[in-house]
């Protein structure tokens, strides 16, 4: 696949995040780490534009009045996209953050996501292997490029297929951590994530009022003691899926023709 030549134009990020009314929720806390639930529509880190000051990190170090205390030494060893909700691990001191950082770097941490995709994914499970590179002419998008892109591998499993309209509830396990990896890989297989504004078809963005991508699970080694640790965060849009009166459902493995 050919690639567009890099642009020499300066990239301008004029995105201003809307106000996020959701809260960062603490799922687990000890002396060294937090597990938190990030709401959709909140930056992980504050942006360069001073108007984009609000973020997970800002709320952690300053506290959320009446909701969570301040954790002035909190550090984020990983991020979630602005529109993605779900579980994040936070280091509460330098040693814990460095230990977690190393685990992410060597890819020993396993992450799982749940997403709602447009249409019915044909195979019950599979892999997407499509290299990703920044699309310098269409910031902040990325693109598939097999010549200069970085290796990107996503594993998927269809959990349910839904009717009216046809959608697929999918569990993703990314084996690499590229920017927008699950979003563009979903588009690659012809089933973009509902609510995604960057990688979409004619209807998929309008089929949801948020990006329907949620980080559900983290498997890692606790930085103190080294014991295996599993953090889990329930998917907030499962209720929308299963309790809509017109949303009939087929489990994966049923006839989808």
Q: Check whether residue 34 and residue 116 sit in a common domain.
A: no
For residue 3, being part of any structural domain is answered with no
For residue 246, being part of any structural domain is answered with yes
DSSP β-ladder status, 228-232 and 213-221? antiparallel
Q: Which of 54, 80, 106 is the last residue of a domain?
A: 106
From first CA to last CA, the distance across the chain in angstroms is 31
pLDDT at site 252: 53
For residue 165, being part of any structural domain is answered with yes
Evaluate if pTM is beyond 0.75. Answer: yes
Burial 129-144 (b: 16+ CB within 10 A, else e): ebbbbbbbeeeeebbb
Any idea what the CATH number is for the domain that residue 139 is in? 3.30.2350.10
In angstroms, the CA 46 to CA 79 distance is: 11
Q: Check whether residue 142 and residue 183 sit in a common domain.
A: yes
Q: Which of 106, 134, 165 is the last residue of a domain?
A: 106
pLDDT at site 238: 76
Q: Check whether residue 100 and residue 200 sit in a common domain.
A: no
Tally of domains within the chain: 2
For residue 1, being part of any structural domain is answered with no
Q: Check whether residue 47 and residue 153 sit in a common domain.
A: no
For residue 97, being part of any structural domain is answered with yes
Helix, strand, coil percentages in the chain from 3-state DSSP, rounded to 5: 15, 30, 55
Instruction: Note whether 231 and 154 are within 8 A (CB).
Output: no
Which structural domain range is residue 54 located in? 19-106
Those residues whose C-beta lies under 8 Å from the C-beta of residue 127, and which sit 6 or more positions away, are 153, 154, 155, 156
pLDDT at site 92: 98
In angstroms, the CA 185 to CA 52 distance is: 28
Per-residue pLDDT of the chain (257 residues; tens, 9 = 90+): 444 334 444 555 688 999 999 999 999 999 999 999 999 999 999 999 999 999 999 999 999 999 999 999 999 999 999 999 999 999 999 999 999 999 999 999 999 999 999 999 999 999 999 999 999 999 999 999 999 999 999 999 999 999 999 999 999 999 999 999 999 999 999 999 999 999 999 999 999 999 999 999 999 999 998 999 999 999 998 766 654 444 444 555 544 44
Catalytic residue among 14, 81, 217, 255: 81
Q: Check whether residue 165 and residue 247 sit in a common domain.
A: yes
Instruction: Note whether 157 and 27 are within 8 A (CB).
Output: no
In angstroms, the CA 254 to CA 205 distance is: 27
Q: Check whether residue 138 and residue 224 sit in a common domain.
A: yes
81 is catalytic: yes
Q: Which of 58, 82, 106 is the last residue of a domain?
A: 106
In angstroms, the CA 214 to CA 237 distance is: 9
Q: Check whether residue 126 and residue 250 sit in a common domain.
A: yes
């Amino acid at each position: 696949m050919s690639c567009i030549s890099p642009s020499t134009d300066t990239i301008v990020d004029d995105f201003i995040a809307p106000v996020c009314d959701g809260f960062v929720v603490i799922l687990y806390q000890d002396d060294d780490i937090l597990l938190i639930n990030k709401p959709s529509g909140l930056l992980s880190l504050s942006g360069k534009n001073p108007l984009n000051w609000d973020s997970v990190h800002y709320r952690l170090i300053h506290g959320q009045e009446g909701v969570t205390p301040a954790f002035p030494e909190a550090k984020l060893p990983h991020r979630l996209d602005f529109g993605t909700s779900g579980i994040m691990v936070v280091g509460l001191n330098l040693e814990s953050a460095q230990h977690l950082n190393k685990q992410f770097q060597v890819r020993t941490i396993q992450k799982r996501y749940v997403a709602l995709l447009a249409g019915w994914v044909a195979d019950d499970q599979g892999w997407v292997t499509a290299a990703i590179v920044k699309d310098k002419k269409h910031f902040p998008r990325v693109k598939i490029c097999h010549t200069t892109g970085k290796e990107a591998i996503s594993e998927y499993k269809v959990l349910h297929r839904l009717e009216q309209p046809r959608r697929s509830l999918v569990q993703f396990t990314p084996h690499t951590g590229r920017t927008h990896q699950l979003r563009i890989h979903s588009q690659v297989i012809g089933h973009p994530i509902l609510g995604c504004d960057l990688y979409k078809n004619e209807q998929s963005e309008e089929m949801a009022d948020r990006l329907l991508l949620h980080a559900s699970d983290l498997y890692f080694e606790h930085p103190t003691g080294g014991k295996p640790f599993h953090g889990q965060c329930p998917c907030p849009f499962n209720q929308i899926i299963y309790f809509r009166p017109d949303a009939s459902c087929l489990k994966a493995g049923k006839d989808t023709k």
